[in-house]
Amino acid sequence: MGDTVTEQPARGKSYVLRAERITKIYSDGTAALKEATVEIRPYQILGLLGENGAGKTTLTKILSGLLPPTHGRVISPKGPVRFTSPREALDFGIGMVHQHFALVGTFTAAENVALSHERPFSQLQLAKTRERLAALMEESGLHVPLDVPIEKLAVGEQQRVEILKVLSRDVNLLILDEPTSVLTPLEVDVLFSLLERLRDEGKSIILITHKLKEVGSVTDRVVVLRQGEMVGDVRTAEVTSQKLARLMVGEALDEEVDAVELRDEELPSTRRRAEVDRSGAGVLHVENLVVRGNTGETAVDGVTFDVYGGEIFGIAGVEGNGQSELVEALTGLRTAVSGVATIKGTDVIGMDPNRIYRLGVAHIPEDRWVLGLVLPFTLAENAILGIHRWERFRGPLSVLRRGRITKHVRELMDRFDIQATGPNAPAKSLSGGNQQKLIVGRELAKDPAIIVASQPTRGLDIGAAHYIRQTLQEMCDRGRAILLVSADLDEVLAHADRMAIMYEGKFMEVCAPSDLGDRERIGMLMGGVGCEEMS
């Protein structure tokens, strides 16, 4: 902690809101915030930086009235304030744009904004709102089609509707929770220039992020949270990203910080590796695969690719462009409509997950809470999910051999450095990183020929993410085929031997990361702008 950096307020006590010694203890006893004090000033974009679980979202939820603090208070220049609902905070001029949008898909932008205002909802109200929105769009330079149903808009546009919704309430403080996670690089640029313009008009903005790069490019001031404590409050111009990374991860190993720096440079992988024999069909061979999504839409629209032993094949792209459906179709959780998918020559379409696993497939699922783990189960019970019918673990009458299972779990805990109180700790008591290591360990114990890893490092702290990437790399070096699907573009660029960018169910391009071109071009591919259109 001795490392705390605090900026002395230079220009008197001008603030719009001040969170004073806020402590938040959730009902299960976890302290999400410990005496954090943050001052929000006008004409400033404040970056709220921290790893997952550092308390960023909790702090903003308290500011925007979603959660009450356990101790501490929020004060405005006029005195202490206490919000019991987001609506009260909004009336006070504090608006938050959440990661998951609260929009009605079949309503237009104008209708959605009108809906958030007054009730009852009337035609007259709608006309008024439309007028105001048009004026607001002119003023802020934030343009969205007002009369198209939300579901027909791109994610970036939907986000702009959310921002408009908040702005139309005359907010002074705009809070954005990881707004860039759903955007293409080009959309990020548009968003950031908008934020800068709003700042210049005198608004305060809080940008929650765990990406150092974003902090450097748009914020004026950074507050760093680590495990609920405020560990730094600095001017962006006066700090290096190394310093911020160190603050964020604490007294981290240099190796981990190096990993951060490496990621910052965004260099495509230059690692030397053995030549991969790419003749014939790969371990995984996919041809013209078509998969439908939950609502019957065509989610995967005829993709073709091979993944060979000894290589990492990456699939990048903004989330929701069919990656999940593709992975589900390959691992037996969803049945493809048409096309071919074979693993080691066996057709897997329509096969159940258990038989696919027996072909030598390990699956690190994208959602560890919904798919990967049975949270109330113990570590030991989770460590055998999917392999619980192994001869090793079963005695006569199909009785589970507890001794052997415990031994297996202890081995996993040692090998994958899973921090837990013991094999009988409930999986939900583990941190996200340890949960993910448990899944990775379990899947690798299957000694797979191919590993399908979907968002394997999402939401993990730098240390755990680094470890998991390294493990995948090792498996690759040992001749396993790896399909890496990630919304983290940098991750795919740094680790894939070949990669594809997925947009609306199609592959925009399949090539080595170094052949993709500059970031602008990658951004356009992620946004669905094809090669021909660009030139």
Binding-site ranges for other proteins (CB under 8 A):
27-28, 85, 119, 331, 333, 352-355, 357, 363, 365, 370-377, 381, 384-386, 388-389, 393-394, 397-400
What are φ and ψ of residue 227, in 5° steps? 50, 45
Run of H or E residues at 75: strand 71-76
Least distance CB 453 / other proteins (angstroms): 14
Q: Which is nearer to other proteins, 75 or 371 (CB)?
A: 371
Q: Can you read off the two tokens belonging to residue 292?
A: 């439908």
**Which residue pairs, CB below 8 angstroms and at least 24 apart, start in 85-90?**
89/63, 89/64, 89/65, 90/65, 90/166, 90/169, 90/171
Please choose, from the candidates 254, 264, 176, 249, the residue with its C-alpha nearest in 3D space to the C-alpha of residue 212: 264
CA angle 413–417–421, rounded 5-degree value: 55
Write the DSSP string, 469-509.
HHHHHHHHHTT-EEEEE-S-HHHHHHH-SEEEEEETTEEEE
Closer CB to other proteins, residue 181 or residue 242? 181
Q: Least distance (Å) from other proteins to the CB of residue 401?
A: 10
Residue 96 C-beta: closest distance to other proteins, Å: 13
For 403, other C-beta atoms within 10 Å of its C-beta total 8
Nearest distance from C-beta of residue 54 to other proteins, angstroms: 14
Minimum CB separation of residue 364 from other proteins in Å reads 11
Q: HSE on the CB side for 90, CA within 13 Å? A: 16
20 close to 38: Cβ distance less than 8 angstroms: no
Q: Judged by CB, which is closer to other proteins: 295, or 398? A: 398
Comparison of 270 and 294: residue with beta carbon closer to other proteins: 294
Smaller CB separation from other proteins, 2 or 120: 120
Contact yes or no for 308/469 (Cβ under 8 A): no
Cα end-to-end span (Å), the chain:
52
Q: What is the largest CA-CA distance in the chain?
A: 77
State the Cα–Cα distance between residues 428 and 38, nearest whole angstrom.
Answer: 31
**Nearest residue (CB) to other proteins, 190 versus 375:** 375
Q: What is the DSSP string of 345-373?
A: TEE-TT--HHHHHHTTEEEE-S-IIIII-
CB of 389 to other proteins, least distance (A): 6
Q: Interior CA angle at 138 toward 136 and 141, to 5°?
A: 95
Closer of 334 and 495 to other proteins (Cβ): 334
DSSP-derived pairing of the beta strands 94-97 and 173-177: parallel
Q: Please, what is the minimum distance in Å from the beta carbon of residue 483 to other proteins?
A: 16
Between residues 289 and 351, which has the closer beta carbon with respect to other proteins?
351
Question: 374 or 512, CB closer to other proteins?
Answer: 374
Tell me how far, at minimum, the Cβ of 166 lies from other proteins, in Å: 18
Residue whose CB is less far from other proteins, 136 or 387: 387
What SS3 state is found at 31?
strand
Cβ neighbour number for residue 357 with a 10 Å cutoff: 19
Q: Tell me the closest approach of the beta carbon of residue 341 to other proteins, in angstroms.
A: 18
CB of 324 to other proteins, least distance (A): 13
